Structures are given as structure tokens and as C-alpha cells.
Amino acid sequence: MRHLFLVILLFSLSGCKFPKVVSAFYAKEVCSCLFVEKQKEEYCHEYGKQIIPIWTKEIDYKNKSVKAFGLWKSTEASFISLRSGCQIVK
């Protein structure tokens, strides 16, 4: 596990886009799970988590959005509609 962390750290410091995948995947999947599938937050967190954990998350139920921060990168996904689901906003 320590070697994995070192490899990821090197990728993130080199400008590689890989670290953004962690927060982007989590934000999009949890947003869809909560606001499209209408599942509970605990279930959606388990559904969206990966081998590399996110550091923080913010769920805005009023605006139907999820922000995730991991590996020094932040991503926000927002609910569009039941047909379109959620999309990454930034």
C-alpha cells in the first residue's frame, strides 16, 4: 500500500491527470446514487469508494450536488435531471 501511495504522489506532482480521477469518480457516482437512484448516503458512500480514498466530501441536498476532494484535486458533480442524471461541473 505504501508503494501505491508513492506512485500516486509522483503522478500528482508530475502534472499527470490521474489524481483527478479519484475525486471525479466519487463525486459523479455518489451524486447519481443519491439523486437519481435515491439511495441512502451510507450506501452511496460505499458504492462510490475506491481503493484510494477521498479525503473530504460535501453533499448539498438543497442544490443536489456532491463535492469530493482527494489526492490534492477537487471535483463537483451536480444533478441535471432523472433522464440525464448527474454531470461533473468542475
Cα 49 off chain centre by: 8
- Residue 71's pLDDT is what? 83
Q: What is the chain's pLDDT, residue by residue, as a tens digit (90 residues)?
A: 555 665 566 555 555 566 788 899 999 999 999 999 999 999 999 999 888 889 999 999 999 999 999 888 999 999 999 999 999 997
Q: pLDDT tens, 54-77?
A: 999 999 999 999 999 988 899 999
Rounded to two decimals, the pTM is: 0.80
Give how far Cα 32 sits from Cα of 3, 42, 62, 83, Å: 32, 14, 15, 11
Integer Cα distance of 85 and 90 in angstroms: 16
